[in-house]
Amino acid sequence: MSVRDLKGNGRWWALAGCLLWLAFTFFPLYWVAITSFKSPLGVVGGPTYLPFIDFEPTLTAWRELLSGQRGQFYNTFMASTIVGLSASVIATAVGSMAAYALVRFTFEVRLLTGVIFVVVAFGGYLLGRHIAGYGQAISLIYAFVAALALAIGSSRIRLPGPILGNNDIVFWFVSQRMFPPIVAAFALFLMYTEMGKLGFKLVDTYIGLTFAYVAFSLPIVIWLMRDFFAALPIEVEEAAMVDNVPSWRIFFGIVVPMSKPGLIATFMITLAFVWNEFLFALFLTNSRWQTLPILVAGQNSQRGDEWWSISAAALVAIIPMVIMAGILSRMMRSGLLLGAIK
């Protein structure tokens, strides 16, 4: 008997507590599932709990939903799927590369370079916007390019001041998550609108939404994958280096296959985040690329108390994630995500 086993009564108390929490977790999901099979009369008549005993299940809500009487469900589902899958694939790929670089290579950035970037970007924008009289988007693009060029140029010469290392860069990436998303969502909406005036339509487009999601998933991807890569045994890579295998082949040929579980888990976590995201979708889409959370939230105001159809709509958003929860928990049992929090 290991020290981890509970003895005597404690075991049953712990089990009782877990069961109580299980009931609390499952009841809402059970409720939404049975409500979607209730008839309108069955909902209005007061709560009923057991199908076939309490109430007669019907497929009314699902039939209405699938036949398109309740809004463009098929389109929205496809939009959610396409944006979700592509944003998570791109974010996982780009983020893993950055995470790998941050684990295995040394980066040194002078603090002053960062300061130059921010100052030039701000100054250039204000200059272009209020003195030279360019439009917002144009002055922003100029300011960004100028700031980037100057920052890269300045990193070539030896500047005084403190040096930022790999950990500081990781911190910078992760700290992006602290920024209130409402600020970013609103500003992005305005930037996309300005770009639209220049002829690049970004509001309510595939590219616009996917790009925003990629950018906002990257901090999480880098955070998760960095710990995963750091936990990989380095000997294999060292052996490959002795044989003069180029770094990009070490990464794609050795490291990526070795970290498949981590990549899949990160991909799924990103997918869940994108699939459920509400605020950006609310600002950046209006019809063609509207995602499921927006449609589901809209059911509320449009349909009042038609709970049977609202439940069916909510379930469409929930079910894919339930399947993923099953897969994820399987992977977790093999201790996969342990590395992520150390």
Partner 1 sequence: MLRQRCGMTRNDPIKHFFIWPALLIVLVISIFPLIYSLTTSFMSLRLVPPIPPRFVGFGNYVELLQNPRFWHVAWTTTIISFISVALQYVIGFSVALALNRNVPGEGLFRVSFLLPMLVAPVAVALIARQILNPTMGPLNELMTFFGFPNLPFLTQTRWAIGAIISVEVWQWTPFVMLMLLAGLQTLPDDVYEAAALENASSWQQFWGITFPMMLPISVAVVFIRLIESYKIMDTVFVMTGGGPGISTETLTLFAYQEGFKKFNLGYTSALSFLFLIVITVIGLVYLAILKPYLEKHK
Q: Which of 99, 298, 107, 314 is nearest to 217 (CA)?
A: 99
Task: Count the alpha carbons within 13 Å of 29 in the hemisphere toward its beta carbon.
Answer: 11
- Which residues, other chains included, contact 272 with Cβ-Cβ below 8 Å and sequence gap of 6+? 321, 324
Q: Minimum CB separation from partner 1 for residue 101, in Å? A: 4
* 14 vs 59 by CB, closer to partner 1: 14
One residue of 89, 97, 111, 240 binding partner 1 per CB under 8 A: 97
One residue of 37, 216, 228, 289 binding partner 1 per CB under 8 A: 216
Region from 52-60, 96-104, 156-164, 254-262 binding partner 1, contact rule CB under 8 A: 96-104
What angle separates helix 260-276 from helix 307-333, to the nearest 10 degrees?
Answer: 160
* 28 vs 160 by CB, closer to partner 1: 28
331 forms part of the interface with partner 1 (CB under 8 A): no
One residue of 83, 202, 263, 310 binding partner 1 per CB under 8 A: 310
One residue of 121, 203, 209, 312 binding partner 1 per CB under 8 A: 121
Region from 67-75, 197-205, 222-230, 259-267 binding partner 1, contact rule CB under 8 A: 222-230
239 forms part of the interface with partner 1 (CB under 8 A): no
Cα–Cα distance, 246 to 244 (Å, whole number): 6
Question: What does the per-residue mask of binding to partner 1 show for 156-185, with x meaning CB under 8 A?
Answer: ----------xx--x--x--xxxxxxxxx-
Taking CA atoms, 183 is separated from 91, 107, 186, 188, 207, in Å, by: 21, 30, 5, 8, 20
Number of residues that bind partner 1 (CB under 8 A): 121
Cα–Cα distance, 173 to 194 (Å, whole number): 26
Segment 43-82, which members bind partner 1 (CB under 8 A)? 43-44, 46-47, 49
Q: What's at 334, amino acid-wise?
A: S
Q: What's at 219, amino acid-wise?
A: P
